[in-house]
Amino acid sequence: MSTSYDALGIDIGGSGIKGAPVDLETGTFADDRLRITTPEHSTPDAVCEVIEQIVDHFSTKPHVPIGITLPAVVTHGVVRSAANIDRSWIGVDAAALFADRLGREVHLVNDADAAGVAERHHGAAKGHDGVVLLTTLGTGIGTALIVDGHLVPNTELGHLEIDGHHAESHAADSARKREDLSMQQWAERLQMYYTHVEDLLWPDLFVVGGGISKQADAFLPLLDLRTEIVPARLRNKAGIIGAAWLATQGN
């Protein structure tokens, strides 16, 4: 069991809750990741029990910062939405809840935001200043906006209305699967989405995450954008690494 690491990151997902200690100098796990199945009824209390198990498993010392992602909008530690977790989270001061149960402060962050921060510091966007937008193409479209290395939290740009549709209902990977779209057909929808975002933000770089990013060569070359667009590198490690990084920042 590793005893020397900078922070513990925990990523709460719809199917699994994953945690690992993180060496932030290298952006790598300092020990093997632990994954525990998300409780069927993923209420705050049920998830708290799993978080406690992960913290105990790594014998996390009191001085070690802990970062936790949620598939939700989080403002000042309060959960404002719920995606793939129980809706009883909405309105909960999760920061206070976790602090009470763990006996220490934690940093909470939206899962896409955590992934974006990880990619900016240790992944595909490392060294890129200016405006960087991570988009995760999955069940929906998650977004993380990083400006000169600073996170602009909870952007939720997957909910932009484009051509009468919420973008994610029309262009997420789930839409591709649901409608049995070819990569070319799906790319036409992605083109519309990314062009719209380009016109709003004039970003310097798009980073594309989500499981489908493993097939980036099949659809990214079909897009015609003025902005450089690249696949994410950290994939399912990004949430843990980003949460750990943010936990050390004191914000």
- pLDDT tens column, 15-74: 999 999 999 999 999 999 999 999 999 999 999 999 999 999 999 999 999 999 999 999
DSSP E strands in 24-176: the ranges are: 28-29, 34-37, 66-70, 74-75, 78-79, 107-110, 131-137, 141-147, 150-152, 161-162, 165-166
pLDDT of residue 1: 46
For range 235-249, the mean pLDDT: 96
Tokens 């402060």 sit on residue: 105
Task: Encode pLDDT of 219-232 as tens digits.
Answer: 999 999 999 999 99
Residue type (1 letter), 198:
E
Confidence tier at 84 by pLDDT (50, 70, 90): confident
Q: Express each pLDDT in 144-201 by its tens digit.
A: 999 999 999 999 999 999 989 899 999 999 999 999 999 999 999 999 999 999 999 9
C-alpha separations of 183 from 91, 180, 237 in Å? 39, 9, 26
Q: What is the pLDDT of residue 85?
A: 86
Instruction: Give the Cα separation of 100 and 151 in Å (integer).
Output: 27
- Predicted local confidence at residue 250, as pLDDT: 65
pLDDT confidence tier of residue 83, bands split at 50, 70 and 90: confident
Q: What is the CATH number of domain 128-232?
A: 3.30.420.40
CA distance 87 to 114: 21
Q: What is the pLDDT of residue 141?
A: 96
Residue 103's pLDDT is: 92
Residue among 21, 28, 19, 76 nearest 52 (CA): 19
| pLDDT at 80 > cutoff 90 | yes
Mean pLDDT of 4-20: 93
* Fold that domain 7-113+237-247 belongs to in CATH: Nucleotidyltransferase; domain 5 (3.30.420)
**Is 251's pLDDT higher than 70?**
no
What tokens were used for 183? 């990569």
Name the residue with higher pLDDT: 18 or 14. 18
Q: Which residues 6+ apart lie within 8 Å of 114 measured at CB?
A: 9, 11, 67, 69, 144, 238, 239, 240, 241, 242, 243, 246
Asked if residue 243 lies in contact with residue 114, where contact means CB atoms within 8 angstroms, the answer is yes
Backbone angles phi, psi at 207, to 5 degrees: -120, 130
The mean pLDDT of 228-250, rounded to a whole number, is 95
The model's confidence at residue 111, banded by pLDDT at 50, 70 and 90, is very high
Q: Is the pLDDT of residue 126 over 70?
A: yes
**Looking at the chain, which residues constitute the CATH 3.30.420.40 domain(s)?**
7-113+237-247, 128-232
